[in-house]
Amino acid sequence: MDLFHIVSEDRIKKAYQDGEFDNLPGLGKPLQLEDLSGIPEELRMAYKLLKNAGYTQEEGQLRQEMMTIEGLLKKCDDSTEKESLQKKLNEKLLRFNQLMSKRGVKTNSAIFKNYEHKVQKKIKY
């Protein structure tokens, strides 16, 4: 054992003897462990960090869907299909912004830049 380990053990024993652990929340109740069996072992720490920071699976999925739709928009030549994709993208952006506002995060107004240009074009004409 190294010195750090010995000092740590001594401090824990002293705190236990002084009763510092007697009033902890959940004392005498079973631990509620998360089931992380569906997450690869090497990604579990990253998953826990993101979850503790408030990131949700829905948020990640929305980001992925928005990126996919943006990629399709860049490749699309059909105006009807482009309009449909843009509508889907705007819906996803709206939902994403709702999630962000629940977390108290301000979203970048540049996200709606494309939509803003369309509105400005309609107003000018």
Q: What is the spatial distance between Cα 95 and Cα 69, in angstroms, rounded to a whole number?
A: 15
Domain assignment present for 24: no
Domain assignment present for 119: no
pTM of the model: 0.49
Q: What is the pLDDT of residues 73-89, one digit of tens each?
A: 889 888 899 999 999 98
- 57 residue type, one letter: Q
Domain assignment present for 96: yes
Domain assignment present for 19: no
Domain boundaries, position 86: 70-104
Q: Which of 61-65, 100-104, 105-109 has the highest mean pLDDT?
A: 61-65
Q: Where are the alpha helices (DSSP H) in the chain?
A: 3-17, 44-52, 57-75, 79-103, 113-124
